Structure formats: structure tokens, C-alpha cells
Chains A and B, each alone.
Chain A
Amino acid sequence: MTTAGPASGATVPSEWVNCWRCGKRVLRAEPSCPHCLAPRRRQSERGPAAEPPSPITPVTRVLAFFGLMLLVLIVHGATAEPLPEHGLTPQNARAHLRSMVGFEIFDAIVVGIAAWTIGSPRKWRRMSDAPAGWLWASAVAGIGLVLALNLAYHTVLRGYIGLSAAADPVLAVTGMTPLLLFAYCLEPAVIEELFFRYLALDTLRGVMNVHAAVAVSSVMFGLAHLGVPLSIPMLALVGVALGYARVASGGLALPMLLHFLHNFVIVLLRG
């Protein structure tokens, strides 16, 4: 805008300016020209236009990373050497374990990139007002119940198919080593909780109610265990328990502990 417009050709008082587009006199205070509706200042004078909101929302990023995780699992399943049915040597078992740890480190990197890309989800207030001690004690009791359900489910499943309970072949050969504990219990408890109970659950809570978010993140958690397709329904149920532990406690420490305990008991039972 200029103070002397081409239409009038005369100097105008300071409260009046000439429109940069039509040249007519306009009050300086007006946000836009009442004659031609042009904004008071040109776009170039106003600075860069605000960028339109990105259609890639955090939820779509979560979904995209979930798809990527499934792809990584499929690639790992297709490329990993299958364990021999009989005569697994300690060397084979250790090699299998190392390959598993390598894959889990890669998985952790994917989750790290996901955390960096998705960003911190909104912080939610803890849902339960119960004292922390009582909450943690009841959560541990709850995971015991879920474990019992898990064992019952797999017993029924094995009975239907006609399979006998078999020990984990790697565990049977290597025994309880720190590497095995890391691969079976610690890494899943930390990395899976970070993705499913922090990134996915907290992001989903922003677009749906808490129960729906827990259910959807649990389905994601169940489906992420592609290697054991018949256990997916039960694992989704475990995910529900861990999801509510996260929501009730407001932190990740409780679901991580419960996940670790769950996996640890399974390892002990299969040893």
C-alpha cells in the first residue's frame, strides 16, 4: 500500500491509504479493501503463506510404521534359517539366538525412527485415582490371571490340534542365558511397549475414546506376532491388559514390568 494512490493523485491523510490493487481510498484500519476485497497488504508483504495442514497425521504415521514393522517381520520370517526339527546343536541354537537379537536390534531402530517421526503424543492424565501401590499390586495379580488364561487357551488349542506341549528348542539347548533373557523378555518388554502402548495408544487416544484406542492398539500388538498366528487372539487380550495398565498408571513402567513378567513366566514354563 502507498499513501498516494493513482486514483486520487493527491496525498491522503495518514488514516487513509490507497488499495494496492484497485487504488481506491481505504481506511488503514480495515483488514481488506471494501471495494475490491483485496487484503490490506500484498501476499509478498505479508510473508510466506501459512502452509496447509499436512494430510499425514500422527495416526497415519503410526499406521504406516505398523505396516513397516509387519513388512520387516515378513522379511525376517522369509530369510531366517528354520530350526531343524531334530538334533539342534548348541552352535545352531546360539546362531539362531544371535540372529534373533540382530533382528530385534533392527526392530528397536525402526521403533526409534517411528518415535522421531511421529513425535511425542499428547500427555494424558492417568485414568485411575487409586494409590500407586494398590494399582501395581492389582496389575501384577491381573497379569497372573491373563497368564492363566493364556496357558488355558494354548492347552485347549494343543488338545484340539493334537499336539503335545514341547519345550522351546533354543531354550532347551542353551539354557537361560543373558542373551536369551534379553531376546525373549527384556527387548520385547521395552520396545513393544514403547511402540504399542506409548506411540500407538497415546496417539490413537487423540482421535477416539480410550477403550477403542486400547482395543485398536491391542489388535496391532496381537498382529505384530506373525510368527505365532494361532496365538494372535490371546496376545491381543494380553495387549488389552497391558493397555489398561498403561492408561491406569499413566506411565510406561508398569506395562513394561508386566510384559517382562509375562514373557519371563512363559520362558520358565517352556524351559
Chain B
Amino acid sequence: MADWMVCPGCQLRHTRRPDGLCPRCKQSVDSGEAALAATASAPVAGPVREGHPPVGFRAAPESPSAARLGDLAQAARGKELKSARTIMLFVGIVSILANGYFFSAAASNVQEEIDKELRKLGPTFVVDPAKLAEVKSQAVRTTKLIAFGGLVLGAVFVACGLLVQKHPVPMTVTALILYLGGNAVFGMLNPASLGAGWIVKIFIVIGLFKAVQAAFAYQKEMATTAEAA
């Protein structure tokens, strides 16, 4: 964007010339440097109104107003990341609680399922008690392993939520991948779980997608600020 200056002699507003002279009155404009600050904004479009920035006003990066605009955008992205953190902590804590319950209640849940199957087969069906105990033991241990995996997944979500401000892109991307993958895995194991709470799931996926995009912009801005510094 061009640097605007006002000639102290004829008041012509113009961009800096290589010879440092006003293009109209040919006077030196070095003394007009002070006027530069007041007109540092690069014009884009729209008329200037008294007391208001012009329509389509875009400030030069070094101006205080530009810094304020950048801060506002960055604050908005920070807010998006805070929402993402809330989502991640929510998903993580719910996952820990739910899988903690499934882990502790694995034996009773498996017994319930076995009883259901046996009722379906009818009273005439003869079951080998030793084989049944073996199958039950395997099912309980498998359920516990899967619930433990869910617990670890929940803990990873909580960790992602806590670290999202420090490493926005890796944490949001990881959270989104784990959320999609976790739902797919549990959906494969129990297809009915895919449909359960699908509205909430859609909101979470949209929230995490938006967080990924906000994280890109946030990280880019941070990098630009660091470079400028």
C-alpha cells in the first residue's frame, strides 16, 4: 500500500516521490513528514465522512488502527479456539465418565447380554457351563479393553483441550480425527451407537471443523507477528 503525504506548500495529498519533491509545486515535502501519520491509511474505496473512517477503509499494517483490527480478528479466532477447547473438554470428560462406567460394569453388562441371547434360544437349548464361563470371561475382558481404549481417548481429548491455545493446529486436527475415528470404531462395534445423539455429534464435528480453520488463521497470524517482531 502506498504511503500518503501532504505537501506543506500546496497541501496536495500524494504518494512519496523518489526525488522527495511535491509533484505539483516541486517543493521538498520532507517537512511534511508529520502529516504522514494522519494520512497513513491506504485508501481502498468509499467517501470520507467526518469522524468516521472511509468506507472500505483498510489500514496500513503499521498503523495503530491496523493493529487494533488485527487484535480483534485474533481475539475472534481465540474465542473460536476457546469454544473448541470447551468441546474437547466436554467430549473428553463425557468419554471418560461413560467408558469408566462401561469398564466397571463390564461383567454385569456381558451377563445381561448372555441372558438375553439364552432367552432367545429358548429353554430347550442346552449350554455347556464351562464353555459359557469361558465365553463370558473373554467377552468381559474384551469389553474392558475397549472401555479402556475409550478412557484413553477421553484423556487425549482433555489433553488436546488443555493444549489447544499453545499448539492450535495439531490439537484441533488431532481432536477432529480422533472424534471421527472414535465414532467410526464404536459405530463398527455397535452400529446403533452411530445414530445415538447424531444432532450433538454433527454440532461437535462442525465446531471442530471451524476450530481447525480458526487455528490455521490464528497460527498464521502468530507467525506473522513473530516475524515482524
Contact = CB atoms under 8 A, between A and B. Distances in A.
Given A27-B23, A57-B216, A161-B142, A223 B177 contact: yes
A163 interface: yes
A161 B188 contact: no
Interface stretch (B59-67, B68-76, B166-174): B166-174
B184 A32 contact: no
Given A59-B173, A63-B177, A216-B174, A37 B23 contact: no
Contact of B138 (A32, A163, A229): A163
Given A63-B173, A212-B167, A216-B170, A29 B23 contact: yes
A66 B180 contact: yes
Contact of B185 (A29, A163, A226): A226
B193 to A, nearest CB: 11
Given A37-B45, A39-B44, A74-B187, A162 B141 contact: yes
Contact of B45 (A39, A212, A219, A220): A39
Contact of B188 (A157, A215, A226): A226
B interface, size bucket: 35 or more
Contacts of A32: 2, 43-44
Interface in B169-218: 169-170, 173-174, 176-178, 180-182, 184-185, 187-189, 191, 194, 209, 212-213, 216
A161 B145 contact: yes
Nearest to B12: A34
A161 B138 contact: yes
Interface stretch (B46-54, B96-104, B108-116, B120-128): B46-54
B82 interface: no
Contact of A219 (B146, B177, B184, B187): B177
Contacts of B46: 37-38
B9 to A, nearest CB: 15
Interface in A21-36: 21-22, 27, 29-36
B175 to A, nearest CB: 11
A208 B15 contact: no
Q: Is the interface of B mostly helix, strand, loop or mixed?
A: helix
Contacts of B177: 63, 66, 216, 219-220, 223
B3 to A, nearest CB: 11
Contacts of B176: 63
A67 interface: yes
A103 B212 CA distance: 31
Contacts of A226: 184-185, 188
Nearest to A22: B47
Nearest to A63: B176
A216 B191 contact: no
A179 interface: no
10 contacts: A38-B46, A161-B142, A162-B141, A212-B170, A216-B173, A216-B174, A216-B177, A222-B181, A223-B181, A229-B189
Question: Across chains A and B, which 5 residue pairs bring their CB atoms closest together, nearest first?
Answer: A223-B181, A37-B43, A34-B13, A70-B184, A212-B170
Interface of A: 15, 21-22, 27, 29-39, 55, 57, 59-60, 63, 66-67, 70-71, 73-74, 77-78, 157, 160-163, 204, 207-208, 212, 215-216, 219-220, 222-224, 226-227, 229-230, 232-233
